[in-house]
């Protein structure tokens, strides 16, 4: 069992931004709160092997606009209240809290809730990266329901849903938070230790910490890239690949077939690199040829600070690198691609994995 204390926060911040793949909310909003909560406190981090198969655990996350979150900083008490209401509803005691989205703010919000509720955090999540919708989880992939679902909206009001279909639930929660405060906190997915062990992506919290700690080291860009490659290659993801390095020359919005995309364009030595995103980075092109696509992760690295960036932090004139990280295998099987593949975001094309785009990098012995 690991213990999360204040010393984890910085590394976890960078790791969470890295796994946010450009999105996942603005992590820095929660940092002062997390520091304050962890001062003199610590949270137990349970690996999936340590879970009691018969005990119950629930998922916690926050949803809504990062801008509104910045103005109304959550303290974790909302999450605690939601967990308590869910426990009442299920007639169960929860033995720990799971991250639903192991990236961005949703690594920290469950952590904050765990501190407030005095519960351990489970070292696993149901996305392994950031995704924008509730049904984009391994729970849904394996046919497990999110309900009962307790939502506390921006006005502090509690709503409970028993909707079986997670997509419908997604619509309902969006509707509520759209009307009430623009943000919300939920507790849902009450599952047994056995189910969590079977269906969640294991070790994502400690892995975010491991990745983030590389960014804490003082080093040059090449050293950073090399270290991240080393850590990622023995993970469930696979080695990171540098897709491009250049200066940001354009940030704009394009609309196609009523789908709105935001784009960031980089240039270097007559080459052009374009990243298309909505919340998370979704597709990348190099000189108009496909360079990476969701569910693989596309990550911006600021070449000045050598830190991962959210796409909303990218600015004109900034020098950045773009890295690709292969998605965990679970997101690449056919029925998962029906949930999180490029077509789910409006790009009507079959998924091409990074390893297929760069076989000489990923499987050199077989190619040469």
Partner 1 sequence: MDSLSRWLRLLASSLGGELHFLDADFPNCKKMMGKKKLDVILVPVDICSSCDAAKGCRESFSVLVRFVDRLCLFNFPESISNERRCILLDLLSLTVRLIDIYNRNRRQQKHFEFYQKVLFFLASRFFSGFYLKYGGDDFSLITGDYPLSFYEDLEQKRRKLETDEGSLESEKQTFWFKNFPEKGNDGGILYWQPKEISSLQFSQNRSVIMTAPLIGKNPAFLEALNLIKKTASSENTILLYGESGTGKELFARAIHLLSPRRDQPFIAINCAAIPENLLESELFGYEEGSFTGAKKGGKPGKFELADGGTLFLDEIGDMPLALQAKLLRVLQDKKLERVGGTKPISVNIRFIAATHRNLDELVQRNLFRQDLYFRLNVIPIKLPTLRDRKEDIEPLLNYFIKKHTILQNKPFKIFAPDVIEFFKSYPWPGNIRELENVVAYAVSVCSEDIIELKDLQPYLKKEYVSNTGVERSDHDFHRKPVPGREELIILLKQYGQTTAAKKEIARHLGISLATLYRWLQRYHIK
Which residues bind to partner 1, rule: CB under 8 A? 6-7, 9-10, 13, 28-29, 31-32, 35, 70, 73, 197-198, 216-218, 220, 222-223, 226, 229-230, 233-236, 238-239, 303-307, 315, 317, 326, 328-330, 332-335, 353, 355-356, 359, 361-366
Least Cβ distance, residue 262 to partner 1 (angstroms): 20
Cβ distance to partner 1 smaller for residue 165 or 355: 355
**Least CB distance from residue 6 to partner 1, whole Å?**
6
Smallest gap, in angstroms, from Cβ of residue 57 to partner 1? 17
**Of 84 and 227, which has the nearer Cβ to partner 1?**
227
The nearer residue to partner 1, 54 or 255, going by C-beta atoms, is 54
Alpha carbon 39 to its chain centroid, in Å, reads 25
To partner 1, the closest distance from the beta carbon of 210 in angstroms equals 10
Q: Measured from the CB of residue 215, what is the shortest distance to partner 1 in angstroms?
A: 9
50 vs 355 by CB, closer to partner 1: 355
Tell the smallest beta-carbon distance from residue 354 to partner 1 (Å): 9
Instruction: Report in angstroms the alpha-carbon separations of 207 from 16, 102, 130.
Output: 10, 10, 14
Q: Which is nearer to partner 1, 73 or 171 (CB)?
A: 73
Q: State how far the Cα of 336 lies from the Cα of 349, in Å rounded to an integer.
A: 15
CB of 260 to partner 1, least distance (A): 26
Supply 88's token pair.
Answer: 């009442």
Question: Cα separation of 244 and 286, whole Å?
Answer: 8
Cβ at position 72, least distance to partner 1 in Å: 11
C-alpha span between 32 and 93 (Å, rounded): 30
Minimum CB distance to partner 1 smaller for 22 or for 326: 326
CA dihedral 128, 130, 134, 138 (to 10 degrees): -10
3-class DSSP state of 111: helix
Residue 60, C-beta contacts closer than 8 angstroms, at least 6 positions apart: 79, 82, 83, 97, 98, 99, 100, 109, 110, 113, 185, 186, 187
Q: 35, 27 in Cβ contact below 8 A?
A: no
Whole-angstrom Cα distance, residue 70 to residue 54? 38
- Residues paired with residue 187 on neighbouring β-strands, in sequence order: 60, 150
Is residue 160 classed as helix, strand or coil in its secondary structure? strand
Query: From the CB of 366, what's the least distance to partner 1, in Å?
Result: 6
Residue 351: exposure state from Cβ atoms within 10 A (0-12, 13-18, ≥19): buried
3-state secondary structure of 298: strand
E strand map for 106-258: 121-125, 149-153, 158-161, 183-192, 201-202, 241-256
**Cβ proximity to partner 1, 197 vs 245, nearer residue:** 197
* Minimum distance of partner 1 from residue 280's CB (angstroms): 20
Nearer to partner 1, 35 or 168 (CB): 35
Nearer Cβ to partner 1, position 115 or 150? 115
Radius of gyration of the chain (CA): 20
Q: 76 vs 148, which CB is nearer to partner 1? A: 76
């Amino acid at each position: 069992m690991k213990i999360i204390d204040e010393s984890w926060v910085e590394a976890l911040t960078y790791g969470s931004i890295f796994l946010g793949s450009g999105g996942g909310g603005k992590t820095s909003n929660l940092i002062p709160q997390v520091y304050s909560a962890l001062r003199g406190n610590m949270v137990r981090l349970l690996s999936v092997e340590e879970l009691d198969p018969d005990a119950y655990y629930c998922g916690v996350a926050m949803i809504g606009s990062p801008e509104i979150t910045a103005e109304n900083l959550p303290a974790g008490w909302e999450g605690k209240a939601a967990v308590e209401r869910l426990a009442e509803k299920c007639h169960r005691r929860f033995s720990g809290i799971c991250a639903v989205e192991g990236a961005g703010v949703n690594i920290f919000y469950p952590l904050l809730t765990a501190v407030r509720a005095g519960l351990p955090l489970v070292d696993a999540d149901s996305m392994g990266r950031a995704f924008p919708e509730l049904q984009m989880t391994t729970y849904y992939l394996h046919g497990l329901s999110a309900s009962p679902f307790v939502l506390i909206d921006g006005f502090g009001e509690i709503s409970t849903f028993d909707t079986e279909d997670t997509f419908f639930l997604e619509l309902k929660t969006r509707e509520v938070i759209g009307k009430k405060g623009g943000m919300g906190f939920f507790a849902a997915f009450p599952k047994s230790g056995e189910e969590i062990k079977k269906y969640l992506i294991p070790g994502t919290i400690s892995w975010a910490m491991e990745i983030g700690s590389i960014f804490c080291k003082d080093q040059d860009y090449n050293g950073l890239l090399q270290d991240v490659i080393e850590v990622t290659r023995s993970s469930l993801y696979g080695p990171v690949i540098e897709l491009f390095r250049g200066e940001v020359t354009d940030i704009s919005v394009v609309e196609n077939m009523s789908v709105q995309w935001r784009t960031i364009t980089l240039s270097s030595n007559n080459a052009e690199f374009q990243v298309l995103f909505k919340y998370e980075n979704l597709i990348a092109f190099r000189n108009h040829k496909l360079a990476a696509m969701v569910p693989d992760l596309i990550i911006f690295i600021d070449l000045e600070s050598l830190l991962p960036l959210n796409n909303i932090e990218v600015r004109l004139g900034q020098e950045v690198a773009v890295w690709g990280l292969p998605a965990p295998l679970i997101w690449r099987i056919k029925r998962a691609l029906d949930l999180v593949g490029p077509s789910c975001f409006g790009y009507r094309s079959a998924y091409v994995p990074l390893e297929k785009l760069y076989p000489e990098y990923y499987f050199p012995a077989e190619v040469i």
